[in-house]
Amino acid sequence: RPSKEGFDIVIGNPPYGAKISSIDKACFKHIFTSAQTIPNIQKGSLDTFSLFIDLGYQILHTKGNAIFIVPLSVTASDAMSGLHRLLINHCDEIYVSSYGDRPRRIFESAEQQVSIISFKKSSNKATRIMTTYINKRYSDESLWLLLDDLKFVNALHHIRNGRIPKIGNEIELGILCKLERCVTTIKDVYKREGLPIYYRKAGGRYYKIITKIPTHSSAEGELKVREKYQSLVGAALSSNLFYWFWLIHSDWHNLRSSELEMFPIPFESFSDEELDKINTLYDTYLNDLYSKSQTTKTGLKCFFARQSKMHIDAIDKFIGEKYGLSEIEINFLINYDYQYRNAE
């Protein structure tokens, strides 16, 4: 119903990643609230899909509904904080379901991970942001079977800096609550002249390879941490817990420094004896990881972390208690995405 009051329904599958001229950028920043960067409040986005969502909101009638199919990054980028703030402040309910492109594409013609975001415009702040985990489709699985079995949970109180956590059950909600009680993060053990921890900024959908020595990958990043906590940081970032934490806050491809820095780690609660134990667990895992690795003709190390998962699981069983996780929660993390992470 196009009228002075706006549309009752807006539906879209907008483009993304388009090049925008400097003149258009200036214009869009004037038109779209979500495109504006406000220091210490929000970071704006000029990605076309974000602008289309903002436009959809603007042309909606109050109590009207909008739904968009957009890239998964709508849930996982600092630059989405402006859009999230707009919707949270002016929509009763927001629903976000997310979908991977492995093992089989959700949409056959597009190799793209996507989220479907819907919202109802109102004069009130959101009372619910209902989310799912990243739904994945087996090669022989019907798309409709997947869509008919979506599970949502209210993640309203767990939105942070452009991240809508992709969680879908009460166990995940409980784990996230316990992690948020930890007041220290990995950033608190950074030290300019510290010891290195190496990680890959891209790739590694099902495992994050975290080492003490460089692997010479072109996508390799480096952290410098206090010597006392090098193994603790390496072990924690190698854990199933961190894989889950990264997955629910990321675009399921890139490992950004901001995602590392927001990961809670209760380092002060570890005694010297416990730090020795975690050092042993981490070294055992690394030794096994390297023993099963292969070197390509170009000299790049290829790791097969699934073959060393028993050692990763041992890390989770040890550090999980420090986060206050129950045995049920630790086992949930150990078995999270098991059918995909352990597939050949």
Q: pLDDT digits over 167-188, tens only?
A: 999 999 999 999 999 999 999 9
pLDDT at 203: 80
Residue 2 clears pLDDT 70, i.e. is over it: no
Q: Are residues 246 and 308 in the same domain?
A: yes
139, 168, 197 - which closes a domain: 168
pLDDT at 107: 78
In a domain, 2, yes or no: no
The number of folded domains in the chain is 2
Please indicate, yes or no, if residue 181 is contained in any of the structural domains.
Answer: no
- Would you say residue 298 has pLDDT above 90? no
Query: Is residue 175 domain-resident?
Result: no
- Rounded CA gap, 244 and 208, in Å? 11
Q: Please check whether residues 159 and 44 belong to one and the same domain.
A: yes
pLDDT of residue 45: 97
Q: Please report where in the chains the tokens 């134990």 appear, as a residue.
A: 277
Position 205 scores a pLDDT of: 78
Domain edge (last residue) among 168, 203, 221: 168
Neighbours of 139 (CB within 10 A): 7
- Please indicate whether residue 205 or residue 156 has the higher confidence score (pLDDT): 156
Percentages helix, strand, coil for the chain, rounded to the nearest 5? 40, 25, 35
Residue bearing the bigger pLDDT, 111 or 183 = 183
Residue identified by tokens 């996780």 is 325
Residues 148 and 255 in one domain: no
Give the least confident one: 2-6, 160-164, 205-209, 289-293.
2-6
Same domain, 73 and 213: no
Residue 1, pLDDT above cutoff 80: no
Whether residues 203 and 114 share a domain: the answer is no
Whether 144 and 205 map to the same domain: the answer is no
Instruction: Report the pLDDT averaged over residues 252-273.
Output: 95
C-alpha distance from residue 167 to each of 158, 170, 249, 293, 341 (Å): 10, 9, 9, 32, 18
Q: Note whether 201 and 81 are same-domain residues.
A: no
pLDDT tens per residue across span 112-126: 899 999 999 999 999
pLDDT score at 143:
81
Q: Residue 246 belongs to what domain range?
A: 186-341
Q: Any idea which of 56-60, 83-87, 234-238, 300-304 has the lowest mean pLDDT? A: 300-304
Average pLDDT over residues 230-254: 97
3-class secondary-structure state, position 57 = helix
Give the torsion sign (CA, 322, 327, 328, 330): positive
Distance CA 134, CA 266 (A): 27
Residues 110 and 191 both lie in one domain: no
Mean pLDDT score across all residues of the chain: 94
Distance in angstroms between the alpha carbons of the first and the last residue of the chain: 52
Give the torsion sign (CA, 264, 95, 48, 35): negative
**Given this model, what pLDDT does residue 105 score?**
83
Helices 309-319/230-238 angle, 10° precision: 110
pTM: 0.94
CB 174 within 8 A of CB 332: no
Q: Residue 306: left if φ>0, alpha if ψ -120 to 50, beta else—which one?
A: alpha
Are 109 and 224 contained in the same domain? no
| Mean pLDDT computed over 47-53 | 97
φ/ψ of 261, rounded to 5, equals -70, -25
* Residue 60 confidence (pLDDT) above 80: yes
The CATH number assigned to the domain holding 126 equals: 3.40.50.150
Specify the range with the lowest mean pLDDT, choosing from 26-35, 116-125, 130-139, 280-289: 130-139
Using DSSP's 3-state secondary structure scheme, residue 249 falls into: helix
More confident call, 18 vs 331: 331
Q: What's the Cα-to-Cα distance from 184 to each of 93, 323, 325, rounded to whole Å? A: 32, 11, 17
Q: HSE-up of 156 (CA within 13 Å, CB side)?
A: 13
**121 and 74 in contact (C-beta within 8 Å)?**
no
Q: Confirm whether 180 is domain-assigned.
A: no
Both tokens of 18, joined, read 């388009």
Of 168, 195, 212, which residue sits at a domain end?
168
Tell me what pLDDT residue 344 has. 62
Tell me, what's the pLDDT at 232? 99
Flag whether 115 is in a domain: yes
In a domain, 174, yes or no: no
Cis peptide upstream of residue 214 (ω within 30 degrees of 0): no
151 and 247 in one domain?
no
Residues 131 and 195 in one domain: no
Higher pLDDT, 225 or 295: 225
340: confidence class by pLDDT, cuts 50, 70, 90: confident
For residues 244 and 136, state if they share a domain.
no
With respect to residue 84, please indicate whether it lies within any of the assigned structural domains.
yes
Confidence (pLDDT) at 67: 98
Q: How confident is the model at residue 108 (pLDDT cuts 50, 70, 90)?
A: confident
Does residue 111 lie within any of the structural domains?
Answer: yes
Average pLDDT over residues 44-67: 96
Residues 6+ apart with CB under 8 A from 133: 98, 151, 166, 167, 168, 169, 172, 248
